[in-house]
Amino acid sequence: MERDIDVRGLSLRLRERAAGNLCMLVHGWLDHRGSFDSLAPLLPGRTVAYDQRGHGDSSWAGAGGFYHFVDYVADLDGLVGAIAPEGPIRLVGHSMGGAVALFYAALRPERVAHLTLLDGAPIAVHAREVPDRFAGWLDDLGMDRRRRTVSSPDEARARLLRNNPRLSAQAVATLAEPIGPDPDQDGSLAWKWDPLLRARSPLPVTEDVTQELLGRVRAPVLLLRAEKGILPDEGVLRDRLSRIAKLHVETVEGAGHHLHLERPETVAARIRNAWGGMQ
């Protein structure tokens, strides 16, 4: 089932499956809710995948608006409050979506029963880098917000495959779903995501703030690292995330960054095992 939920004036598109205990699925940067279509049916209970602001079929930030990382966390908070006010939920987040889910688990610890990170961890910078990023953000605000066009769905899939050569044809087709005619460009095919998503973040979260947040996470956390993904090795991850009280790190051998699309059965089995006897 698909529906839209209003969160502080922004319409967010949801894709829901089954019934039972809720698991929210949070996609990564420039992805969309459909990226969980292979994984969600393999998980027990109710799953809700949604398009984050500026992605897929959710609203773009309005005039004068932007995509601050904290906005993604606030959107998740608003969604959970709207669809699951009665109790704690499970969270699965991929890449940037994992960082969103992790910060939510730190800020709303009573609302999260379990968290799974799919090749995702917080990206933090040193404070000395912030001024240059801030200046770059000012430059980026003037970017062209016309949607990025493609000549055909085949071209969109070919671009994705060049950047993600490990993906199957089905996985590439899934990631290429959010294209459609753009009435502002004579009906040309274009990606649905807002080009402003590519702008630099003016005030990224620094490492000292990240560490304070990690210490507030109470839920068990399973980090599934893709062997061919974007994260460092397990030892480095455990050291950096050591303030998470209940952290378990595993590597999915042979998998690339989109491990939930490449190896959905393996990923689902590890998540189910981590959930164990949870009600």
d(CA 262, CA 177): 17
In a domain, 168, yes or no: no
Q: Which whole-number Å values give the CA distances from 76 to 5, 31, 102, 195, in the listed order?
A: 11, 16, 11, 21
Q: What pLDDT was estimated at residue 246?
A: 97
Percent of the chain's residues with pLDDT above 90: 75
* CATH number of the domain encompassing residue 226: 3.40.50.1820
Per-residue pLDDT tens over the stretch 72-112: 999 999 999 999 988 899 999 999 999 999 999 999 999 99
Whole-structure pTM value: 0.94
In a domain, 145, yes or no: no
d(CA 250, CA 264): 15
In a domain, 179, yes or no: no
In a domain, 117, yes or no: yes
In a domain, 148, yes or no: no
d(CA 230, CA 189): 30
d(CA 199, CA 113): 33
In a domain, 240, yes or no: yes
Residue 259 clears pLDDT 70, i.e. is over it: yes
Residue 182 clears pLDDT 90, i.e. is over it: no
Mean pLDDT calculated for residue range 243-266: 95
Residue 1 one-letter amino acid: M
Cβ atoms of 264 and 39 within 8 Å: the answer is yes
Cβ atoms of 80 and 187 within 8 Å: the answer is no
The domain tally of the chain equals 1
Provide the token pair at 239. Answer: 């050291």
Q: What is the mean pLDDT of the chain?
A: 93
In a domain, 191, yes or no: no
In a domain, 54, yes or no: yes
Residue 277 clears pLDDT 70, i.e. is over it: no
Mean pLDDT calculated for residue range 229-247: 94
In this structure, the strands spanning 22-26 and 2-7 are unpaired
Give the structural domain span for 77.
2-130+201-275
Residue 278 clears pLDDT 80, i.e. is over it: no
